[in-house]
Amino acid sequence: MSFSTPPTTNQFTERLTLHYDPALKRNRFNQVANAIAAFFAAMAVVPLFLVLIYVLVQGGRLLSLRLLTELPPAPGLEGGGIGNAILGTIVVTLIASLIAIPVGVGGGVYLSEYAQDGWFSKFVRFGNDVLAGVPSIICGVFIYSLIVATRIFFDQSFSAMAGGIALSVLMLPTVIKTTYEGLLLVPQEMRMGAYGVGASRFVTITQITLPAAFTPIATGVVLGIARAAGETAPLIFTALFSPFWPEGLFNPIATMSVLIFNFAIMPYEAQNELAWAASFVLVIMILGANLLARWISSASRS
């Protein structure tokens, strides 16, 4: 083949116009592929909006000050609110946070700052990932047999404390993982600088490294709390339920998720409506927590 032959005219050598031609095969194909991808992307958020709208329609009309401050009515009666369940969810989540945050942050600090990359830290990290995947109902059964069935706290069986501990087991993996990963993002130079002015390891961690990783840790903690606040399964047989105001940390306590579970299947109109209203309040609280997490991570970046 010689290079001197003039190019023959075929589709390959033909010079097309540079203008965009939507009728071209590749362009048509591209548009179809684009549309399909966009459709699936939209499908991913459709459930969220459907849930929000449905819960808002069903539960939003009951929203009033009464709903947030009153006790649920006795079966067969009208009116009432979910004040005890809101308070109970706050109490139980607070107990869970008080356990999971110190343990989780401490564990994350150990994994990132103290542990050599040996078998122990690998084992802890792997175990943590497995714990994150343990179904929440298993956590509930575990705490039930450990605390509730043994009546370990003042001979009380079901209690707010047991519910909080069950939720803390669920929160723990999130807190450990975000702490660990947040600390890994802190540049090594920052630690070197602190050591270079004579800081001990403890001072370096508490005053330089942890504050530098505050944003990812706080974001992870808030997301962990949001996850725990919505859990039902571990609370059903640990915190149980109570139609009254909380009577202390070692007594059964009402929570929103269990209230929804109980009231939604009751044969009373008033209870069903309260379940919808509680769903709405819970969704809003969790949405708020997620927005707070986003705000924390964006506020410190700017």
Partner 1 sequence: MTASSPSTVASDVCMSLQDVTISYGSFEAVKNVYMDLPKGKVTAFIGPSGCGKSTVLRALNRMNDLIPGCSLKGRVIFDQHDLYDKRVDPVEVRRRIGMVFQKPNPFPKSIYENIAFGARINGYKGDMDELVERSLRKAAVWDECKDKLKESGFSLSGGQQQRLCIARAIATEPEVILMDEPCSALDPISTLKIEETMHELKRSYTIMIVTHNMQQAVRVADMTAFFNAEAVEGGSGKVGYLVEFNETENIFNSPSQQSTLDYVSGRFG
* Positions that interact with partner 1 (CB under 8 A): 116-117, 187, 189-200, 203, 207-208, 211-212
The residues, ordered by sequence, that sit 6+ positions from 4 with a Cβ below 8 Å of its Cβ are none
Q: Shortest distance, CB of residue 202 to partner 1, whole angstroms? A: 10
Question: Across the strands, what pairs with 156?
Answer: 153
Q: In Å, what is the CA distance from 261 to each residue of 8, 208, 258, 279?
A: 76, 45, 5, 10
Q: Shortest distance, CB of residue 211 to partner 1, whole angstroms? A: 7
d(CA 21, CA 25): 9
Q: Shortest distance, CB of residue 203 to partner 1, whole angstroms? A: 5
Nearest alpha carbon to residue 226 among 266, 189, 256: 256
Nearer Cβ to partner 1 (75/211):
211
Q: In Å, what is the CA distance from 248 to each residue of 118, 145, 254?
A: 44, 21, 11
Nearer Cβ to partner 1 (22/118):
118
Q: Shortest distance, CB of residue 88 to partner 1, whole angstroms? A: 39
Terminal Cα-to-Cα distance of the chain (whole angstroms): 64
Nearer Cβ to partner 1 (63/208):
208
Nearer Cβ to partner 1 (64/200):
200
Nearer Cβ to partner 1 (133/196):
196
Q: Shortest distance, CB of residue 6 to partner 1, whole angstroms? A: 55
Q: Shortest distance, CB of residue 121 to partner 1, whole angstroms? A: 12
Rounded to the nearest 5 degrees, what angle is found at the Cα of 154, between the Cα atoms of 149 and 160? Answer: 70
Rounded to the nearest 5 degrees, what angle is found at the Cα of 77, between the Cα atoms of 73 and 78? Answer: 80
Nearer Cβ to partner 1 (30/207):
207
The pair of three-digit structure tokens given for residue 199, joined into one six-digit string: 């800081």
Nearest alpha carbon to residue 86 among 63, 106, 54: 63
Distance, CA of 143 to chain centre: 21
Q: Shortest distance, CB of residue 192 to partner 1, whole angstroms? A: 6
Nearer Cβ to partner 1 (190/264):
190
Q: Shortest distance, CB of residue 179 to partner 1, whole angstroms? A: 17
Nearest alpha carbon to residue 233 among 152, 162, 167, 159: 167
Nearer Cβ to partner 1 (204/255):
204
Integer-rounded Cα Rg, in Å, for the chain is: 28
d(CA 63, CA 75): 20
